[in-house]
């Protein structure tokens, strides 16, 4: 069984903060869809029950959708960073995609990056 730790993270300006319980070794994905190609997130998914957004962060969030409007690209209204979002492949809320680049240093031991063909998916 993978060792679980509490990862903390958030946006660049610090107004959006969250924590999530996940393994120390992460399997993340790099997507080539039009949005991810421009923004560059490297997400890994945690079960929704393992994710907790700090309540005071909610006022700083806004959401962008495009295409099918299923994926919810949630980002900070101030700095524009997407530190987490709901993937199109997980619209029912089964998981939350956390951006590896937005996790505070010190809790991730290893990241395996898998490539995902979002440009030609679905």
Domains of the chain, CATH where assigned:
4-117 (2.170.150.70)
Report the C-alpha gap between 107 and 76 in whole angstroms: 23
Distances (CA, A) of 49 to 78, 96, 104: 27, 9, 20
- pLDDT in the model for residue 81: 95
- pLDDT in the model for residue 75: 92
Encode pLDDT of 41-91 as tens digits.
899 999 999 999 999 999 999 998 887 777 778 899 999 999 998 776 654
- H-helix or E-strand containing 39? helix 34-39
Report the C-alpha gap between 67 and 81 in whole angstroms: 20
Predicted TM-score (pTM) above 0.95: no
Nearest-CA neighbor of 43 among 82, 4, 2?
A: 82
- pLDDT in the model for residue 100: 97
Report the C-alpha gap between 33 and 24 in whole angstroms: 27
Average model confidence (pLDDT) for the chain?
89
Q: Tell me what percent of the residues of the chain surpass a pLDDT of 90.
A: 63
């Amino acid at each position: 069984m993978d060792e679980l730790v509490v990862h903390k993270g958030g946006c660049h300006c610090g107004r959006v903060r969250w924590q999530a319980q996940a393994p120390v070794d992460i399997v993340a994905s790099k997507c080539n869809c039009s949005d991810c190609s421009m923004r560059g997130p490297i997400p890994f998914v945690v079960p929704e029950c393992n994710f907790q957004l700090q309540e005071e962060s909610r006022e700083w969030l806004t959401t962008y959708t495009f295409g099918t409007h299923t994926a919810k690209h949630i980002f900070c209204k101030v700095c524009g960073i997407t530190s987490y979002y709901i993937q199109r492949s997980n619209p029912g809320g089964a998981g939350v995609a956390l951006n590896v680049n937005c996790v505070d240093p010190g809790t991730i031991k290893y990241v395996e990056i898998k490539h995902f063909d979002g440009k030609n998916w679905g």
